[in-house]
């Protein structure tokens, strides 16, 4: 069973939650704030399991009836508020939370509500939640998970304990991935950096064959940028524009490649490269382009990322991006 000890990173958050269990000072509402894949749901589940564990320790014991129900997803005193639409409506909050809160716990000392993607609550839903937060029964614990706490009403935020979930440090995440997934260090490091310190994202990429294929394809393109023929460039641009699903991944990988080039320029052989297995290509590219040209390239890439939302012609935009980048290589230092 997952415990606080098995959660990677988030030391301050888990320490805080353990402390509140130890001292019995449990708040009625918590906000776990951090990007997708950072570990919000896992942390909330461990906290809920520990609060309800019959052994009464800081960690869930994994053996008692409550812990076993928690593992099986049928602990009756834990409710996951779900939604079907793109927003969480007032109906969702009323039927799954407000109306249920007055019902006493079945067995344990707490009745726990976990609201995932809480930023999707519309204003009406938030106002309904607020009413419950104003006068909660003693046993109620409401845990809001969100990627954007600023989307919550200030009145909700002021009634909850806010716990920011920060990226897991690169070194720690790398070692964890190596041990857990049995992958070599260069791959683990690449995933740690690419995921922005989000273990959930790193893990799903590590297990995804599609991600590996995408990565290989993007790397072969990146290696060829300085000498790529125009028709090949156009072909890449076409492929990029067509597959909208994978654009974010591809742009992310290009961004870390540029980061590697900048790092190599700065500290040479000491650079902790994300694409360390491609160090020969990184070295030769870093030596044939200036800092300024790389920064400009990085900025242009950020524009493409932002433009995806406004639906510009991606094929042309990406093709121009590659062309300009190649020109900067040709111009040399
Ligand atoms: Zn237990």
DSSP letter string, 239-282? HHHH-HHHHHHHHHHHHHHHHHHHHHHHHGGG---TTGGGHHHH
**What separation in Å is there between the alpha carbon of 54 and the centre of ligand 1?**
5
Q: Considering the entire predicted model, what is its pTM?
A: 0.82
Q: Do domains 4-164 and 208-331 have the same CATH topology?
A: no
DSSP 217: H
**What separation in Å is there between the alpha carbon of 63 and the centre of ligand 1?**
5
Average pLDDT estimate for 42-61: 97
Q: How far apart are the first and last CA of the chain?
A: 56
Pick among 1.20.1290.10, 1.20.272.10, 1.10.3720.10, 3.20.20.70: CATH of 208-331: 1.20.272.10
Domain boundaries, the chain: 4-164, 208-331
CA atoms within 13 A on the CB side of 236: 24
**What separation in Å is there between the alpha carbon of 4 and the centre of ligand 1?**
13
Enumerate residues 6+ apart whose C-beta is below 8 A from 271: 260, 263, 264
**What separation in Å is there between the alpha carbon of 47 and the centre of ligand 1?**
12
Q: What is the CATH number of domain 4-164?
A: 3.40.50.300
**What separation in Å is there between the alpha carbon of 28 and the centre of ligand 1?**
21
pLDDT at 307 over 80: no
Tens-place pLDDT, residues 169-214: 999 999 999 999 999 888 898 899 889 899 999 999 999 998 989 9
**What separation in Å is there between the alpha carbon of 173 and the centre of ligand 1?**
28
State which residues have CB under 5 angstroms from ligand 1, the bound ion: 53, 55, 61, 64, 67
Enumerate residues 6+ apart whose C-beta is below 8 A from 185: 174, 178
**What separation in Å is there between the alpha carbon of 145 and the centre of ligand 1?**
24
Tokens 């791959």 -> residue: 187
Tens-place pLDDT, residues 276-296: 889 999 999 999 999 999 999
Cβ count within 10 A of residue 81: 23
């Amino acid at each position: 069973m997952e415990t606080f000890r098995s959660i990677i990173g988030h030391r301050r958050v888990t320490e805080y939650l353990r402390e509140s269990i130890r001292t019995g000072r449990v708040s009625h509402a918590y906000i776990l704030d951090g990007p997708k894949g950072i570990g919000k749901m896992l942390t909330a589940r461990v906290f809920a399991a520990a609060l309800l564990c019959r052994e009464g320790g800081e960690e869930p014991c994994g053996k008692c009836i409550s812990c076993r129900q928690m593992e099986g997803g049928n602990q009756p005193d834990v409710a996951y508020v779900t939604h079907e639409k793109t927003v969480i409506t007032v109906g969702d909050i009323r039927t799954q939370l407000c109306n249920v809160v007055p019902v006493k716990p079945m067995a344990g000392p707490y009745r726990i509500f976990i609201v995932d993607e809480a930023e999707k609550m519309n204003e009406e839903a938030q106002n309904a939640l607020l009413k419950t937060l104003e006068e909660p029964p003693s046993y109620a614990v409401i845990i809001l998970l969100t990627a954007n706490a600023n989307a919550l009403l200030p009145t909700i935020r002021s009634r909850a304990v806010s716990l920011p979930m920060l990226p897991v440090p690169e070194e720690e995440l790398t070692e964890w991935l190596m041990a857990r997934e049995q992958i070599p260090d260069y791959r683990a490091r690449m995933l740690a950096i690419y995921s922005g310190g989000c273990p959930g994202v790193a893990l799903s990429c590590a297990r995804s064959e599609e991600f590996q294929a995408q990565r290989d394809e993007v790397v072969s393109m990146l290696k060829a940028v300085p000498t790529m023929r125009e028709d090949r460039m156009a072909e890449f641009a076409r492929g990029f524009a067509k597959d909208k699903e994978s654009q974010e991944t591809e742009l992310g990988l290009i961004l870390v490649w540029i980061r590697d080039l900048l790092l190599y320029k700065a500290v040479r052989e000491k650079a902790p490269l994300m694409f360390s297995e491609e160090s020969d290509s990184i070295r030769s590219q870093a030596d044939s382009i200036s800092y300024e040209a790389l920064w400009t390239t990085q900025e242009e890439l950020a524009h493409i990322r932002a433009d995806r939302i406004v639906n510009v012609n991606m094929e042309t935009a990406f093709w121009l991006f590659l062309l300009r980048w190649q020109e900067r290589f040709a111009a040399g230092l």
